[in-house]
């Protein structure tokens, strides 16, 4: 019996080792754009030089392409192709090539907004940072690992007039990998091992105490 308890304890310890340090081992990647043509932009759910997780990314600079600024554009990534694509409640991310000034049609900066809008864990469905409309709609990648920094949607950004101007990679967990719900983080199996093992240890200990009484 003692050997069994020792073995389960080792499983719990190894589960804790595998489940926790890998998350904090390195900072998240940060968003960036590089000049073209075409301009290439990659966006992550992170902010700051340290790459802290954030549902509102840093504003990144966008260089001119072929001697001219890129067009201002608002692009929505929608999750469910069976629902209305222009409904903000069906959007997972919005990428905005920000107008140089209000009403301008050119842009030198861009930013990604993700569902949750950095409102904290109690309001993960917040879309208050989203605009009410977009000029381009892109279906978010459906299959993936369920990881905000590995599941990425790639597409060609378009202006309101349909001009293609940039290659964009937007990284956020795949729509169908968001289980059991779109706003509930997935818990890897290895992360559950310590709790399952500790539960078994507690059960064995209770049975032994009952036998003694």
pLDDT one-digit tens code per residue, 119-172: 887 788 999 999 999 999 999 999 888 888 889 999 999 999 999 999 999 998
Tokens of 130: 């989203």
Best CA proximity match to 28, nearest among 54, 56, 55, 52: 52
Residue 117 has pLDDT above 90, yes or no: yes
What is the Cα–Cα distance from 93 to 185, expressed in whole angstroms?
Answer: 17
pLDDT value of position 178: 58
Which residues make beta-bridge pairs with 157? 166
Residue 16 has pLDDT above 50, yes or no: no
pLDDT value of position 94: 98
Phi and psi, residue 32, nearest 5°:
-165, 160
pLDDT value of position 212: 54
pLDDT category, 180, cuts 50, 70, 90?
very low
Residue 21 has pLDDT above 90, yes or no: no
Best CA proximity match to 73, nearest among 140, 162, 155: 162
SS3 of residue 2 by DSSP? helix
For 43-47, 48-52, 190-194, which range has the lowest pLDDT when averaged over its residues?
A: 190-194
Which residues make beta-bridge pairs with 73? 97
Domain ranges of the chain: 2-20+192-212, 32-177
What is the Cα–Cα distance from 129 to 155, expressed in whole angstroms?
Answer: 22
pLDDT value of position 55: 94
pLDDT value of position 70: 97
Rounded to two decimals, the pTM is: 0.70
Tokens of 211: 């036998």
What is the Cα–Cα distance from 163 to 156, expressed in whole angstroms?
Answer: 10
The residue ranges of DSSP E strands in the chain, in sequence order, are 32-34, 39-43, 46-47, 52-53, 60-61, 70-71, 73-78, 91-99, 106-114, 136-139, 152-158, 164-171
From its phi and psi, is residue 79 left (phi > 0), alpha (psi between -120 and 50) or beta? alpha
């Amino acid at each position: 019996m003692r050997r069994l308890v020792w073995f389960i304890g080792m499983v719990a310890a190894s589960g804790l080792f595998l489940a926790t340090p890998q998350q904090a081992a390195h900072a998240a990647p940060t968003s960036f754009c590089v000049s073209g043509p075409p301009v290439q932009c990659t966006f992550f759910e992170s902010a700051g030089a340290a790459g802290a997780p954030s549902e509102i990314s840093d504003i990144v600079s966008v260089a001119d392409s072929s001697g001219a600024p890129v067009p201002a554009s608002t692009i929505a990534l929608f999750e469910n192709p069976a629902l209305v694509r222009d409904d903000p409640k069906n959007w997972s991310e919005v990428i905005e090539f920000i107008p140089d000034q209000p009403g301008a049609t050119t842009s030198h900066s861009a930013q990604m907004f993700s569902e949750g809008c950095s409102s904290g864990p109690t309001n993960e469905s917040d879309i208050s940072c989203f605009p009410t409309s977009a000029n381009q709609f892109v279906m978010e990648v459906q299959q993936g690992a369920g990881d905000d920094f590995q599941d990425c949607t790639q597409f060609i950004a378009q202006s309101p007039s349909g001009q293609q101007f940039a290659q964009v990679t937007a990284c956020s967990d795949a729509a169908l990998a968001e289980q059991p719900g779109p706003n509930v983080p997935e818990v890897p199996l290895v992360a559950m091992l310590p709790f399952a093992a500790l539960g078994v240890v507690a059960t064995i200990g209770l049975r032994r105490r009952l036998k003694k009484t």
